């Protein structure tokens, strides 16, 4: 299984939700995610698939940004890495991403 690193190389679009959730409200280790293509499961994962825990990705980011003298700013969006394998979108297909504790987002690929 191949996973992407949060290096801006795999992110064509970002779909932030309108609702904000505190980190304490989500299981940052075991929350499952499922990606459906036209209702069929095509990928699944959890935060463990990202360096063992999304918290490890955050620790690395904070440590490295501190070394470089870079501070996160209010409103910054941080993508910590993939919780599952990359799936190429196919025109005309509908995709839904379900993440435990966060909800669902969907799109129609064109």
Q: 70 with 36: CB under 8 angstroms?
A: no
Would you report the helix, strand and coil content of the chain in percent, each value rounded to 5? Answer: 20, 25, 60
The residues with which 54 forms a beta bridge, in sequence order, are: none
Percent of the chain with pLDDT over 70: 88
Taking phi first (over 0 means left), then psi (-120 to 50 degrees means alpha), and beta for anything else, what does residue 69 get?
left
Q: Residue 11: what pLDDT?
A: 65
* Summary mean pLDDT of the chain: 83
What pTM does this model have?
A: 0.76
31 token code pair: 């929350």
Largest CA distance in the chain: 45
83 token code pair: 């919780």
Residue 19: pLDDT above 60?
yes
């Amino acid at each position: 299984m191949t996973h992407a690193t949060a290096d801006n190389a795999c992110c064509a679009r970002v779909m932030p939700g309108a609702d904000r959730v505190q980190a304490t409200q989500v299981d940052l280790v075991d929350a499952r995610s499922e990606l459906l293509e036209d209702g069929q499961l095509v990928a699944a994962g959890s935060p463990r698939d990202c360096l063992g825990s999304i918290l490890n990705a955050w620790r690395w980011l904070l440590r490295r940004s501190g070394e470089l003298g870079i501070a996160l700013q209010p409103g910054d969006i941080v993508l910590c890495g993939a919780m599952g394998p990359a799936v190429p979108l196919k025109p005309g297909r509908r995709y839904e991403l379900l993440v435990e504790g966060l909800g669902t987002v969907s799109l129609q690929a064109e």
